[in-house]
Structure 1
């Protein structure tokens, strides 16, 4: 009886997480130490991603209660083994948080956006290989600013030559 109430509490917590997030990414976490896991959890929570270890059957029960059953049928593989579930506002945010946590022990299996779209492991790996958003903004800014800087330098050179010609003609 006591175990049943614990399972019900775990399912209701999982349902709350599912309802409060737009994406879920299950990851294999075998071989990660407790200290590393604590650091990953802390980093991910600062990025707006919640990491939870939930029994697979209990998560499937929570998903079945909150998501359409056809979505569960389209999952690419069954949820087996030691899985860590990342809940967040988007697949991109989760993948970015996991990649910036710098852990080689977490291996995302696939992602699921909660209206029902399944994101493959290859897509998540490609997202995880992208540089951080700050670096991307710096690259875009440089791409936009570089031609303007070159134009400004060219106009200054033309103006200084014209000024030098005027000075020579005056003397």
Structure 2
């Protein structure tokens, strides 16, 4: 009677070794792909804690791949060059980011600002349509507001003075 528990004895050693090698490479490739993400923010802020007002410990440039260590809600703990910190999911993507200029890839690559706007449903095309339908709106003022940068300490002070808390919402 043939025992199925020892099926591997009937497979030649070379085939067995090839199969195990391919299986190991496939598993390693999946693990690597799942654990690597790319920054889609112009300067992705890395924070000490998974909180939008956590202390900023550094920034990572657009397109830089990072290793994902763990996840806490909408926050990923990332590691790069022996440094670890937290980044919000809106600043990362599992997709490859195209960055090379002077190649055919460059014309299909979107800027970090375009990626962020598209994430919120507002692309250049949508903006153009909106401008056509609303010619009297002051888009120059919107563009100026987009340039404002408020530091974390000012945000914390505003929250404390108004007895406000961040809560668990999606706003950043």
TM range (shorter): under 0.3
Q: Whose radius of gyration is greater, 1 or 2?
A: 1
TM-score normalised by the chain length of structure 2: 0.25
Q: Which structure features the higher share of strand residues? A: 2
TM-score normalised by the chain length of structure 1: 0.25
Q: Which structure features the higher share of helix residues? A: 1
